Structure 1
Amino acid sequence: MINFKINPICTDLDNKIKYKIDHKTKPLGSLGKLEKIAFQVARIQKTLQPKLSKPHIVVVGSDHNICEEGVSPCPQEITWQQMINFSQGGGGIGLLAKQYNIELSIVDAGVDYDFNESTSIINAKVKKGSGNFLKGSAMTRKECIQAIENGAKIVADIHKKGCNVVAFGEMGIGNTSPASILLSLYADIPLKECVGAGSGLNTDGIKHKFKVLNTAIENNLSSNDAIDILSQFGGLEIATITGGMLKAAELNMLIINDGFIITSALLAAHAINNNVIDYVIHSHESKEGGHSLMINFLKGNPILDLDLRLGEGTGAALAYPIIEGAIAMINDMTSFEEADITDTTEHGESVL
């Protein structure tokens, strides 16, 4: 039985945090989202001196046998090839993690490939590829729970090493298909609005993809239970990330959300325990059409809008320095009192 003890954030420090931010030497509310970020992190950590410790991005990979139905234009071997590339510091996420001094872990949750044990890839493989959910379940409920527990353990291990801020990335050819279905079912949005081009489908390809996914739902949806939906139509990497998010929230860690696939895992986590959202900052709004629907459903306020649709956790990595800036503001920016400047807070409006 999945049971994560995630408390809603409720602290008697709220007014003190707000006062500290509002009384920095600036017009009230003039640092906009930075002020909101600082406020949220301080509330999560229940302190007037929040800090970011050993930031970590966990990139989780899996294959998807729904690709048998022609829902992706890319060959599946790219999944394992990119996983090796990431493990060697390559790809967009390898570059950005190095640029911003973020620790990177690469996790195999269900790649249809046997990685050499000498690689740094963490073995959390439940099976070789999520099942073709047009013909049956992507996972059994037991397999789904195992993936969730694997993700939770990975995050717990990272936390033990001093990490208090985590983001997730993904690699899995075909994984916009399960993400589209999860969006439709968890947010109760018509599937047609949730299906996009993924890694490069043309108009006809998108129509075919919708037809496949719609048929899968019509034929195989048997329960509205959150874990049953994830088992039936999700992916092994998505389930693993779901568990990682739930454990991160349970441990009072900050979660930096990424793009379309990662937000489908967040939708699953939210359906299992809606308190998880209190611990989340949305890094960006992806160019993949359904992502804006996800963000709106979760009442998110993304930091960036850069037309990204790469995945891998790249949006979270790009947003991290801005979050660092917000924490520097609340901790190190001078106050009116410290600078001996006339307090102007009564002449503006707080964003908090």
Structure 2
Amino acid sequence: MANLAAIIPAAKARLEVHRVDIYTPGPHELLLKNEVIAFNLVEAKIAKLGAIPLQYPAILGSTLAGTVEAVGPQVKGFQVGDRVAFLKKFGVAGNQYGAYQRYVLIDSVMASKIPDGVDSAVPASLMMNLVSVVGLFSGRLGLERPRFDDPAPAKAVNVLVYGGSSSFGGLSVQYLSQAGYAVTTTSSPQQHGFVSKLGATTVIDHTLEPEALIDELVAAGPYKIVVDTISLPNTIAVTSRVLAAQGGGSLYAMQPAFGPESLPDGVKRVFEAWPNSLYEEKNHDLREWVLQTYLPDGISLGAITSLPIEKVSGGLNGINTALDRIHKGTGRVRLITDPWE
């Protein structure tokens, strides 16, 4: 049994495939035979731009799915042969935890069992953004969680989710609408129907000229919460002005500002690694619910809609291609690969 990994040797370098150790799980860890790597935008920014300082050589990657090969001595609820999906905690150091390899150590507290009959690629592709959605809206902002067995009553609370046809945006629309919140969002005209089916109350054309778009968004408010799921300079310029028009406040973003930015008075961009809120003691039950109930049941019941999944060929050798594509923009598709290919 050998382990291979795609390693980035230095900042902004191309990844290289090398043989690495097989790891032994610690007390609360699982050794996973990695069968699906799901790629995320932040990984492309790290690899291509050196956006986050790392100790090199490094093994990147945060989301994966596979089969449990070994179980740490204090782990409960998992056994060899279980299929699980996993999201690595932001900031965890150690190449043994990077997803871009065939065998990976994972923390059992953020592992979610995959239901029988479900393609492992589906929860792997959802894991990063779905856990982020729950971590932001319920873990950090205290909003109610949805239930599948009892539809939530409508609430007189309007939330703006800019970018409803993105992965994070679409999952946000579903989560909030399932919990009874009114959701205003944006999409292109071609995706209007798709976003509406996810549960959006109001969908506004993001291809409008900026001033017209801002006017439409302001008219559909006010909003209790404003989230910019795209978080690029051109979208922040719009969402920050919408927030300023209702007196300012926190603009929740999916990434930090990577350069100087000027926001309207009273508006503050707020970013953190949203899944990390689920590690807090006060959110212990919420973390267990999303991993043990919301994710597996939502997939099995068809209540969680994912973006189309596309497999990148070449396995570990194809990771550079995947990161190149993500960095350039993949549109409405989630990229995965099989590290054993």
Q: Normalising by structure 2, what TM-score? A: 0.29
Higher relative contact order (CA 8 A, sep 6+): 1
